[in-house]
Amino acid sequence: MNWLPQEVIRRKSAGLPLSDSDIQRFVRGITDNSIGEGQIAAFAMAVMLKGMTVQERVALALAMRDSGQVMSWNLPGPVVDKHSTGGVGDMVSLPLAPLLAACGCYVPMISGRGLGHTGGTLDKLDSIPGYNSLPSPERLQAIVADVGCAIIGQTGDLAPADKRLYSIRDVTATVESIDLITASILSKKLAAGLDVLLIDVKVGNGAFMSTADNAVALADSLVSGANGAGVKTRALITDMNQPLARSAGNALEVEEAIALLRGEVRSERLWEVTLALATQVLLCAGLASSAEQAREHLLDAWRSGEALRRFSRMVEALGGPADLVDHPQTYLASAEVVIPVCAPVSGVVNSIDTRAIGICVVSLGGGRLHPQDRIDPSVGLSQLKLPGEHVEAGQPLAMVHASNPFKAEQAAKAVLAAYTITEHTDSASPLIVQLLMEAS
């Protein structure tokens, strides 16, 4: 009896579980184009409406992983990575990867581009002249073995079935399916041949998951799926009710990341979430026996300058300037117009509409309105005042970096509207909302 993709769609539409074999055959059809877009769209909608079991999610992630190249490593330490669901001023990957490399991890970090109002790690790295975010698999393996880390993009050989499925999800209102999000994220991470994965699920007004319940559901799905596929995985749910860094914008965030690695902590929250994520990686990888030991190891790597050296070596190995960390202003693009956004009254920053800050950066040209849009690496916001901080009337809440005066003035109005200044501030949101070590 011939196998029919429409039978898979029928079963899932009826809310019945799919076998591993059915899922593998369906993904094979996605990959070799023997299954049409209409059937893929129907499958995605059925999953969106009826959901999947943990076993189905694992099978889907593994099948999409196996649709392309699966990397293997022969290294003297654990192969690890981190995935963030995205936020504003979230450039944790830039200091995190070299910190972990300096502590004995090997980090082939597969990163993505900006999505909606959130910045993308690859867009930040593209602001470094010469940086090649798509090296050959052989070059990637050589750099990771030598330097300990390489932050790159997804090549066409990694999980190609995911690319086709995602493009159809994007136009069929099925992007928000937690089951499909889980399989999409994990297929790429599993293809990287990881031993350990740390998930950072953002929650708050600047995150895709705006409620704690949704964030926990996604984190739970990712942790159970990845562990079910054989990768040691934990998840942290972290706050995104304010920008994580003092800057938002590609070159500006790279400069702040370099400053952090050099020892200048501009945003305590950025540093604390970086350390919290790195601590969990070291514990999960067996490189520390306690959180205290892991944190000391990380601080030693930071204070000694070893993490900074790893970042510098990674940039040079991927084609960037050898002296970027010594002279970032020489290489990173600067905007034509820089103006302050002045506080209208004295008081305390009570809250920030973080999503609006992200959209402001996009409107300046620091993100994409359409997939084909080119990004201006020089634009964005810097010196952002954060909740709980006092500000005097006329003092800058932020600096706008723009390509022309009109865009600068429009952005300044948007930033001002995003801030709430009061006499007293509400209690701050906890930075680390929850840790998931196992599926709940």
Active site positions, annotated: 81-84, 121, 169, 184, 188-189
Q: For the chain, report the end-to-end CA distance as a whole number of angstroms.
A: 40
Per the structure block, which two tokens stand in for 347?
């008081």
Q: d(Cα 136, Cα 148) in Å, to the nearest integer?
A: 17
User: Packing angle between helix 160-170 and helix 178-191, nearest 10 degrees?
Assistant: 150
Asked if residues 417 and 352 have their Cβ atoms less than 8 Å apart, the reply is no
User: What's the half-sphere exposure (Cβ side, CA atoms, 13 Å) at 21?
Assistant: 3
Asked if residues 264 and 284 have their Cβ atoms less than 8 Å apart, the reply is no
* Sign of the torsion formed by the C-alpha atoms of 277, 278, 281 and 286: negative
Asked if residues 109 and 150 have their Cβ atoms less than 8 Å apart, the reply is yes
Asked if residues 30 and 165 have their Cβ atoms less than 8 Å apart, the reply is yes
DSSP 45-101: HHHHHH---HHHHHHHHHHHHTTS-------SS-BEEEEE---SS--THHHHHHHHH
**H/E run at residue 311:** helix 306-317
Asked if residues 207 and 199 have their Cβ atoms less than 8 Å apart, the reply is no
Q: How many CB atoms lie within 10 A of CB 409?
A: 14
Nearest to 356 by CA among 400, 416, 397, 405: 416
